[in-house]
Structure 1
Amino acid sequence: MKAMAMAKYSINDFKGVIPALVTAFDLDGRFNEELMRGLTTSLLHRGVDGFYLTGSTGEGFMMSAEERMRVVEIVCEVVAGRVPVMVHVGAISTYQTVSLAEHAEAAGADAISSVPPIYWPFSPAQVANYYTDVTASTSLPMVVYKIALAGEIGFELLTRLAAVPGIEGVKYTAPTHFEIARIKREIGPDFRVFSGADEMAMSGLAFGADGLIGSFYNIIPELYAKLVEAMDAGNLTEAKVLQERANAIIFFTLKQYPMSAVKRIMAWQGADAGYCRKPFDNYETREQEAALKAAYRAFRDENNLGEIGFLTDL
């Protein structure tokens, strides 16, 4: 890798619609660098406000450390400073997470993020030590990732973490949005909150979230950009309509092989994102993909969603 690149953005520059970027794999599970470049370029052209790399949607825990690093290098190279980039560096061991964090900084990322260490029932003190050590390893701001899949970070622990120098925000993927307002009130208005539940983006913004990070911004970022606009303008009626349309797409997709469906939808939009790694399921044959497309057409027509993004051109 080239010499260390300097971050171009501060944590306050992360706002708006930030896809939790998918990672492109071939059907045999190999990382596809060419597709990764293409899908990153496509989303840049569609006006996204930043990227969140190698998280849950990016199948980060399905990759080796070296593969995760390569994803970061490619995306940072393609982005070339046009939008801010946040890299999820979470791993079980502090040692590996520090290595990923140091690499992210060297590659030109603008922030790092991490779930708490998983699998073993680490104590709050051990979790706090983990975040303290990782955050101290770079000059980049750290965004704590609160998601039940990785272990609970309660309000008391989050308050403790927020006092650690360098921890400057939280990716809040939970339905308890009343707590977002409490974070802004008790931890402070400068502590950044990123709403991570796509189906509750309106709620997250209403309670004070500074931006949106999520999976479905890979396929319908324009819809969410309009939602952010409506919320900024105080147009709750319009925002509610947009959220309901997004939710119809989300809930229908969740009935499919969701991760694979998102990647196939990206391909239909001209940005092939490949396939998912096993044990995720895939639409492997032309017949399976054709059936998926037909299902979305029927869904579109039944719900009068013909004017939305990828549904228009099916």
Structure 2
Amino acid sequence: MKDLIAATYAPMHSDGSLNPDIIGTYGDFLRNNGVAGAFVNGSTGDFVSLSTTERKQLIEAWARDRPADFYLVNHVGHTNLREARELASHCADSVDAIGALAPYYFRLRTLDGLLHYCKEIAASAPSTPFYYYHIPVLSGADFAMAEFLKMATREIPTFAGIKYTQVNLADYAACVEFDGGSSNVLFGVDEMLVDSLPLGARGWVGSTYNHLAPLYTELITHYRTGNIDAAAALQKKAVRFVETLDGLSGFNGAGKSFMKELGLDFGPTRFPHRPLTPGNRESALRTLEENGITPYLSKLPAATT
């Protein structure tokens, strides 16, 4: 997988129940703004606040209604290994890959423990590429991924790569270079995308690709054509976008609420995240306009007649 992959939200009705009917429109919105795929049921999608049944319903809707030529990855990690295996098996024939972060309550203490967990999940979808979702700030599994790659590529037949969400560029670079670049290491820190480019990044997974895909597409183009200063300036705008929403009600809840400004109403967010108030939305829009960010926001396609 390569290019921008959006970590997707879980759309809901006003009563807090899932709204799978909007997935087709959501997928078209992402594709039309240059996004290459969806990473479903991850941190952005509030997976910890969804039931196993709800997580199944979401990926079923995405598998049914996703755009053509669009990557689909389902996060199946869980504190309960049996549930994780069930989620993996359920979607095995309908997605391009599965991913799993480490258990985050009783936390893993060794790389051997992490390898066992990943092997068990991958074995439940034996023909589906498997990605480890490295996000130690939330999972607590803070291991060197360059070392994990040596083990996983040897022990997990379907191992495809890592969703690397950590500010550790030295380890990330080592992962990209491992075995001649044989593993697909997707960078997961939106605010540092420009820093991943000289290290060989070719694919990115993140929340803000829902909102700012045109900005990141232009950023990557500037970098690859040698206009480094322009790329860095756009990265600063992306950071300012995150800071603006995070400072109002926390980024997860605010980011989901803000999608309404882009034409997609995803409904409420689940506790403990908080949505933007109408006043906060107005404040956010003013700040984004003042910082020259508004022109880079993703847009719904023009209505056709």
Aligned partner of 1:3 in structure 2 is none
> Structure 1 residues 169 and 237 mapped into 2: Cα distance closer, same or farther (>3 Å)?
same
Q: Are 1:260 and 2:253 matched, yes or no?
A: yes
Q: Are 1:63 and 2:50 matched, yes or no?
A: yes
Instruction: Name the SS of the counterpart of 2:171 in structure 1.
Output: helix
> Structure 1 residues 207 and 73 mapped into 2: Cα distance closer, same or farther (>3 Å)?
same
Aligned partner of 2:262 in structure 1 is 269
What do the CA deviations read for 1:263-289 (whole angstroms, capped 9, x no partner)?
222111111122211122124xxxx32
Indicate which of 35, 38, 44 corresponds to 1:51.
38
Indicate which of 146, 166, 178 corresponds to 2:134.
146
Q: Are 1:161 and 2:148 matched, yes or no?
A: no
1:80 deviates by: 4.8
What do the CA deviations read for 1:179-218 (whole angstroms, capped 9, x no partner)?
2221133344121111101100111222122211001111
Measured on the aligned residues, the alpha-carbon RMSD in Å equals: 1.9
> Structure 1 residues 232 and 310 mapped into 2: Cα distance closer, same or farther (>3 Å)?
closer
Aligned partner of 1:77 in structure 2 is 64
In 2, the alpha carbon distance for the partners of 1:136 and 1:244 equals: 42
Question: Could you tell me which amino acid in structure 2 is paired with residue 144 of structure 1?
Answer: Y
Aligned partner of 2:174 in structure 1 is 182
Indicate which of 93, 110, 114 corresponds to 2:96.
110
**Partners of 2:36 and 2:70 within 8 A in 1:** yes
In 1, the alpha carbon distance for the partners of 2:44 and 2:149 equals: 23
Question: Could you tell me which amino acid in structure 2 is paired with residue 213 of structure 1?
Answer: V
**Partners of 1:195 and 1:205 within 8 A in 2:** no
Aligned partner of 1:34 in structure 2 is 21
Aligned partner of 1:281 in structure 2 is 274
**Partners of 2:23 and 2:66 within 8 A in 1:** no
What do the CA deviations read for 1:65-118 (whole angstroms, capped 9, x no partner)?
111111111112111542111111101222211111111223x10001110122
Bigger Cα displacement from structure 2, 245-254 vs 114-123 = 114-123
Indicate which of 182, 196, 200 corresponds to 1:204.
196
**Partners of 1:196 and 1:213 within 8 A in 2:** yes
**Partners of 1:88 and 1:114 within 8 A in 2:** yes
Instruction: Name the SS of the counterpart of 1:82 in structure 2.
Output: coil
Question: Could you tell me which amino acid in structure 2 is paired with residue 196 of structure 1?
Answer: G
Aligned partner of 1:299 in structure 2 is 287
In 2, the alpha carbon distance for the partners of 1:190 and 1:118 equals: 28
Bigger Cα displacement from structure 2, 156-165 vs 191-200 = 156-165
**Partners of 2:76 and 2:87 within 8 A in 1:** yes
Indicate which of 75, 92, 95 corresponds to 2:79.
92
What do the CA deviations read for 1:7-50 (whole angstroms, capped 9, x no partner)?
xxxxxxx1111100111123432111223333223222222111
Q: Are 1:246 and 2:238 matched, yes or no?
A: yes
Q: Where has structure 1 moved over 6 Å in runs of 4 or more? A: none
| Percent of pairs with identical residues | 27
Question: Could you tell me which amino acid in structure 1 is paired with residue 134 of structure 2?
Answer: K
**Partners of 1:178 and 1:207 within 8 A in 2:** no
1:230 deviates by: 2.4
What do the CA deviations read for 1:122-142 (whole angstroms, capped 9, x no partner)?
333222111112112221111
In 1, the alpha carbon distance for the partners of 2:75 and 2:257 equals: 24
Q: TM-score, normalised by structure 1?
A: 0.87
Question: Could you tell me which amino acid in structure 2 is paired with residue 190 of structure 1?
Answer: S
In 2, the alpha carbon distance for the partners of 1:208 and 1:310 equals: 26
Instruction: Name the SS of the counterpart of 1:255 in structure 2.
Output: helix
**Partners of 1:18 and 1:51 within 8 A in 2:** yes
